[in-house]
Amino acid sequence: MKENEVISAERIRQVAAELNEQMLDFCARLIRVPSLPGEEGAVANIVQDEMVSLGYDEVFRDDWGNVVGLVHGTEDGPSIMYNGHMDVVTEGAVSEWTGYDPYGAAIDEALVLNRDGSLEELTEVMHGRGASDMKCGLGAQIYTGAALVRLKREGVSWKGSFILAAVVLEENAEMMGTIKLTEETFSKRGIRVDAMVSAEPSSLDLKLGHRGRLELKITVYGKSCHGSSPWLGVNAVEKAAPLITAIRTLFDAKTTEDIHLGRPGITLTIIDCEPAALCIVPDRCHLTYDCRLIPGETVTGAIAEIQALIDDMHAKDPCFNAGIAINSSVRHAYTGLYEEIESQKEVWIIDREHPFIRACAAGLTEVGQEVRYGYWAFSTDIPQLGSVMKKPCVGYSGGQEYYIHNGTEKIRLDYLKMSLEGNIAIFLKASELPLDSFHV
């Protein structure tokens, strides 16, 4: 067997080039099939069939609809999971797509931003919902496994196991698919995960963290009466107004800031009342808030801050009454399973000097990529591994945050090919680490 050291940067680029056209065709097939959260079944079929045809050692689907593929090395070593979600957000108004079919996966030349967003360049792109977030990122990960299969068949020795996890129910924001995969499926099957690479859009940067996320549901209570005699009741919507102002004032006055993740945040996303009918004073007003947490903040602390406002307002106005709780929703998998889950995830951050991150950077350097680090504004599935399970994680893909969740979604084909090269190099370099390196 050949030693791992002989897998040169030239060979990595060569095998990526050999697989590139096949990968592009696969990514286009993924984009052409809509897959909203809970409706990923058709895309899961494509993913599962592709990994089987590519020669993965093992491919299976779990009860929640996640699709997993494994490629085992020739020597013992770490198990590194490459993770990408199969669901996408809705395409929105077709008119926003400026003539492109959101599910067409058209390829042409277009002006597109460079890595840091400083200028536009004319280059080949693929258009469509999920191009950057993240069907093409997932496609590059799946073809990373294909490259490892090919290398192993050539007699090249490499350590550990490559795990590809194509998960469901990420866009709902609660990490349902990844939670069920790690806590149920992998536990039952005895699959160990030592580290994770996420395919969330990173512009080829190594992403090292993001803020925590928490949805709060506040219900302000009043007393119903006929709309013609409002003095006989207590209007819950009117009582909610000063609370909304107080919450905004509280967060605007905060001066805490993390050097990497920025400031904490809160925004009111949904407001509704009951009964929402003519001639009736509403007795309940529901406020849903999206909170973003930075290191040092906790879910318990965020709730306590707003509870203190509620208590103060009640002390000044006995007619003001409100309750606060973590928002929860029932999420349905396409397999028929469902469960209610709270909308919260912890802050995730990792030091760039962690051995796993240093290995990722070394791998990118070997294939000639400039190593840049960054942090996401949005949240991902990583906290399940990085914060709850205490595994080292990183984000890396050719998708760009500038083009997600809107009608201009596209991916640069040069970045997509580079991400395949980078993913292969990251795995081969990280798989050389001793197992005691994989802790945070």
Number of compact structural domains in the chain: 2
Question: How large is the greatest C-alpha to C-alpha distance in the chain, in angstroms?
Answer: 87
Distance CA 253, CA 245 (A): 12
Q: What angle do CA 254, 260, 263 make, to 5 degrees?
A: 20
Q: Is residue 257 packed enough to be buried (19+ CB in 10 Å), middle (13-18) or exposed (0-12)?
A: exposed
Q: What is the pLDDT of residue 6?
A: 58
Q: At what angle do helices 9-31 and 136-153 cross, to 10 degrees?
A: 140
Do 164 and 227 sit in the same domain of this protein?
no
Whether 335 maps to a domain, the answer reads: no
Bridge-partner residues for 340, per DSSP? 330
Whether 428 maps to a domain, the answer reads: yes
What's 128's domain CATH number?
3.40.630.10
* Residues in Cβ contact with 33 at an 8 Å cutoff, skipping those fewer than 6 apart: 42, 43, 46, 103
Do 219 and 142 sit in the same domain of this protein?
no
Q: Which helix (H) or strand (E) holds 209?
A: strand 206-210
Do 134 and 164 sit in the same domain of this protein?
yes
Do 164 and 235 sit in the same domain of this protein?
no
Distance CA 169, CA 171 (A): 6
φ/ψ of 316, rounded to 5, equals -85, -25
Q: What is the pLDDT of residue 7?
A: 85
Return the structure tokens found at 93. 């108004």
Kindly list the distances between the CA atom of residue 127 and the CA atoms of 17, 136, 327, 417, in Å, as whole numbers in the listed order: 21, 11, 35, 16
Last residue of a domain, one of 298, 330, 362: 330
- Per DSSP, the three-state class of 314 is helix
Do 146 and 70 sit in the same domain of this protein?
yes
Whether 29 maps to a domain, the answer reads: yes
Distance CA 223, CA 316 (A): 18
| Closest C-alpha among 404, 402, 421 to residue 20 | 421
Do 310 and 363 sit in the same domain of this protein?
no
Whether 402 maps to a domain, the answer reads: yes
Whether 336 maps to a domain, the answer reads: no
What is the residue-level pLDDT of the chain in tens, covering all 440 positions?
A: 344 445 899 999 999 999 999 999 999 999 999 999 999 999 999 999 999 999 999 999 999 999 999 999 999 999 999 999 999 999 999 999 999 999 999 999 999 999 999 999 999 999 999 999 999 999 999 999 999 999 999 999 999 999 999 999 999 878 999 999 999 999 999 999 999 999 999 999 999 999 999 999 999 999 999 999 999 999 999 999 999 999 999 999 998 999 999 999 999 999 999 999 999 999 999 999 999 999 999 889 999 999 999 999 999 999 999 999 999 999 999 999 999 999 999 999 999 999 999 999 999 999 999 999 999 999 999 999 999 999 999 999 999 999 999 999 999 999 999 999 999 999 999 999 999 999 88
Q: What is the pLDDT of residue 1?
A: 39
Do 205 and 277 sit in the same domain of this protein?
no
Whether 337 maps to a domain, the answer reads: no
Taking the mean position of all CA atoms in its chain, how far away is CA 122?
28
| Model confidence pLDDT, tens digit, residues 380-416 | 999 999 999 999 999 999 999 999 999 999 999 999 9
Do 54 and 187 sit in the same domain of this protein?
yes
What's 265's domain CATH number?
3.30.70.360
Q: What is the pLDDT of residue 302?
A: 92
Q: Residue 291 in contact with residue 266, Cβ under 8 Å?
A: yes
Q: Whole domain around residue 112: which residue ranges?
A: 4-210+347-437
Do 32 and 91 sit in the same domain of this protein?
yes
Q: What is the pLDDT of residue 4?
A: 43
Distance CA 297, CA 238 (A): 31
Distance CA 263, CA 274 (A): 34
| Closest C-alpha among 198, 248, 186, 151 to residue 356 | 198
Do 293 and 225 sit in the same domain of this protein?
yes
Do 311 and 430 sit in the same domain of this protein?
no
Taking the mean position of all CA atoms in its chain, how far away is CA 385?
12
Whether 109 maps to a domain, the answer reads: yes
Last residue of a domain, one of 330, 356, 377: 330
Do 259 and 294 sit in the same domain of this protein?
yes
Q: What is the pLDDT of residue 255?
A: 87
Last residue of a domain, one of 330, 359, 390: 330
Whether 341 maps to a domain, the answer reads: no
